[in-house]
Amino acid sequence: MTAYVSAFDLFSIGVGPSSSHTVGPMRAARDFALRVPHPERVAHVTCELYGSLGATGIGHGTPGAVVAGLSGFAPETVDPVLVRDAWQEWADGAPLLFAGVQPVPFSRNDITFAPFTRLPGHPNAMKLTVSDTKGVELASEVYYSIGGGFIRREGEADAVAAESFPLSFATADRLLALCAEHGLTIAEIARRNEESRRTSDEVDAGIDAIWTAMDSCINAGLHAKGLLPGLLKVRRRAGAIREQLDNEAGSGKALPGDWLGTFALAVNEENAAGGRVVTAPTNGAAGILPAVARYWVEFVSDTDDPRPGMREFLLTATALGSLFKANASISGAEGGCQAEVGSACAMAAGGLTAVMGGTPEQVENAAEIAMEHHLGLTCDPVGGLVQIPCIERNAIAASTAVTAARLAMRGDGAHYVSLDTVVETMRQTGIDMSTKYKETSEGGLAVNVVEC
């Protein structure tokens, strides 16, 4: 078995605010709609959202994503505006174009919420059913949104986990051994795996497109102002801070760390607003990698063309993120925020170490440092929205990633706690964590902050 997950699965270009609650459900609903053999016979469609999807689905835009997916839209190409208000503003009985071909009367209460029903496959579960004009069921499927936008249909294996690659590894130890055996960096191991599916030019072009989307998201957030959607009325900060930093240019006041945090805020505010975001490895944690990568471009690197370094950064992060996905979790509903923000921080720390010239051992060390200090971090989004604490948390984690990389670069890669040990600790801690702290908004800040 290999842990490796392709960069093109791990970093998917989609919509906010959540990979598990928006992107995954949209993919599941679309997959279901396109599988129904005779869509022209469909007269009624329903969706039940279970567990965490039922608990925080409304705040995370899940119903709108289901409507968009049932209509045949994909997260990669859909206009985010079509998803944002698709369910909230739906007129009861208005036609939904099922699978993009069949008009079906649809009402908001055709989507139901069952937060206290937990299916065995995963805390994020949903059931989709279609019936004909006589009420006879035509098809029904259960899907799991297993984190990072990945989905699994009941009864099927995780398609991504079943893939094979030429340079397989199940642990960080094995990854380092592969690097030593072949004389390759971690990014080169990842590249060999990617090139078993695509030409070298296609890998480069694909990674460049991912970075362009990340960078565009930062820029969009840096130039936006106003309130984020939702009851909390959270004010966007990235645009205002960017103006302050621009005004302080040349004064010595605006430090690289100020920009680092602002880049992360920019992405996560775009995500919270339902904008175009790259899942990295989830949407709630989508700001950390782009912020650290842009920090490297603007304040560390002296290259005129950041693309080769960015490919190394993202391929290194892919190999590390694969380990978290395979051996623990990248889903907040499964492992708490340590699985989302912790994983992203470790991926960013490893990527930064690689482009600063670190050895594979130093990369592994940086990822381990970054993850170790996120162990036990809970997921408790206020109001079920991916805003508080998520947005600021990405800025803090970006700074932790830079610190972890710098510490690792000052050593020789030798260290006490291995990355594999930390990944296993994260898995066990996730199992022990109360469901109150796993994207249900039933504990922590979510119950102690009064919603306006």
Task: List contacts with ligand SF4 (CB under 6 A).
Answer: 284-285, 332, 337, 340-341, 379, 381, 386, 389-390, 393, 439
Shortest distance, position 153 Cβ to ligand SF4, whole Å: 24
Nearer to ligand SF4, 75 or 206 (CB): 75
Nearest-5° Cα angle at 313, 321 to 424: 25
Shortest distance, position 394 Cβ to ligand SF4, whole Å: 7
Answer left, alpha or beta for residue 120, where phi above 0 means left and psi between -120 and 50 means alpha: alpha
- Angstrom distance (rounded) from CA 25 to CA 69: 8
Give the H or E element holding residue 345.
Answer: helix 343-355
Nearer to ligand SF4, 236 or 393 (CB): 393
Nearer to ligand SF4, 275 or 332 (CB): 332
- Angstrom distance (rounded) from CA 9 to CA 2: 15
Give the H or E element holding residue 137.
Answer: strand 137-147
- Angstrom distance (rounded) from CA 406 to CA 107: 54
Nearer to ligand SF4, 386 or 405 (CB): 386
Nearer to ligand SF4, 239 or 284 (CB): 284
Nearer to ligand SF4, 362 or 400 (CB): 400
CB of 186 closer than 8 Å to CB of 177: no
Give the closest residue to 422 by CA, choosing from 212, 173, 227: 173
Name the token pair of 325. Answer: 């996905």
CA Rg value for the chain = 21
Shortest distance, position 436 Cβ to ligand SF4, whole Å: 12
Shortest distance, position 317 Cβ to ligand SF4, whole Å: 17
Shortest distance, position 155 Cβ to ligand SF4, whole Å: 28
- 331-360: burial string, b at 16+ Cβ within 10 Å, e else: bbbbbbbbbbbbbbbbbbbbbbbbbbebbb
Nearer to ligand SF4, 213 or 267 (CB): 267
Start-to-end C-alpha separation, the chain? 49
Shortest distance, position 321 Cβ to ligand SF4, whole Å: 15
- Angstrom distance (rounded) from CA 317 to CA 12: 14
Shortest distance, position 236 Cβ to ligand SF4, whole Å: 17
Name the token pair of 397. Answer: 């984690």
